Chains A and B, each alone.
Chain A
Amino acid sequence: DAGVIQSPRHEVTEMGQEVTLRCKPISGHNSLFWYRQTMMRGLELLIYFNNNVPIDDSGMPEDRFSAKMPNASFSTLKIQPSEPRDSAVYFCASSPGSRRETGELFFGEGSRLTVL
């Protein structure tokens, strides 16, 4: 099992540029989560999907952030335009849990974003 795959692992960009982070969940998992981690705010849940449908996006900071899950094997988190305060490690996690029961989360290695 390849685990949750995220890309890119590192991204350095300039303020105002568009950033797209990608995630491939573990096959068969039907829940997918996007988290952001910073020293100041810890691990924040941004959005999560169940069966490719966004269930709760209340953690998305603002309109500059958007996330999609076009199919069961792929999700993207987009930031447009990016700002220095978006610098963080973004984690994707998947879970075999159903809508009613969230099981263990399996995390990817994370995407470290630096916005200059």
Chain B
Amino acid sequence: GQQVMQIPQYQHVQEGEDFTTYCNSSTTLSNIQWYKQRPGGHPVFLIQLVKSGEVKKQKRLTFQFGEAKKNSSLHITATQTTDVGTYFCTTKTSYDKVIFGPGTSLSVIP
């Protein structure tokens, strides 16, 4: 079935450094959603991308949807300790199933 892969699986950065996680699919996606899960918490919606080549920004976070709608990226500028958590991309398969990628776990060293 349709699924998405994410790289890297883990990322450790020094506070202030940038961070990027990538989401890739072998098939064209109708949309991509990104979620963040803090340690011990539940996934929280960040953003949805729908259009080819779409770029959206939320403060220090920049989200991009690839031109072919097969990949997406999340970039965080100047990471802070509050950015710690696991970032998931999700895709909607046929029949509206929302499938989560494996996630990228970010740790930030103060």
B95→A45 contact, CB < 8 A: no
Closest chain B residue, CB of each to CB of A4: B42
- CB-CB under 8 A from B48, the residues of chain A are 103-104
B96→A99 contact, CB < 8 A: yes
Q: How large is the interface on B (under 10, 10 to 19, 20 to 34, 35 or more residues)?
A: 20 to 34
A61 on the B face (CB < 8 A): no
Q: Classify the secondary structure of A's interface with B.
A: strand
A56 on the B face (CB < 8 A): yes
* Neighbour of A102 across the interface among B35, B41, B92, B103, CB < 8 A: B92
A48 to B100 Cα, complex, angstroms: 14
A108→B42 contact, CB < 8 A: yes
Q: A91-B43, A105-B45, A110-B42 are in contact. Are A42 and B100 (CB under 8 A)?
A: yes
Closest chain A residue, CB of each to CB of B96: A102
- CB-CB under 8 A from A75, the residues of chain B are none
A109 on the B face (CB < 8 A): yes
B96→A91 contact, CB < 8 A: no
Q: A42-B102, A43-B88 are in contact. Are A50 and B43 (CB under 8 A)?
A: no
Closest chain A residue, CB of each to CB of B98: A102
* Neighbour of A107 across the interface among B33, B42, B101, B103, CB < 8 A: B42
Q: Which residues of A, 80-116, contact B by the 8 Å Cβ criterion? A: 91, 93, 95, 97, 99-110
Q: Which residues of B, 32-81, contact A by the 8 Å Cβ criterion? A: 33, 35, 41-45, 48
- CB-CB under 8 A from B90, the residues of chain A are 105
Between-chain CB contacts (< 8 Å), 19 pairs: A42-B100, A42-B101, A42-B102, A42-B103, A43-B88, A45-B98, A45-B99, A50-B96, A55-B96, A91-B42, A91-B43, A93-B43, A95-B98, A99-B96, A100-B96, A104-B45, A105-B45, A107-B42, A107-B44
Chain A residues with CB under 8 Å of chain B are 31, 33, 35, 42-43, 45, 48, 50, 55-56, 91, 93, 95, 97, 99-110
Q: Could you list 8 further interchain pairs (A-B, Cβ under 8 angstroms) beyond the known A31-B96, A104-B33? A: A43-B100, A45-B99, A48-B96, A48-B97, A91-B42, A105-B90, A106-B45, A109-B41
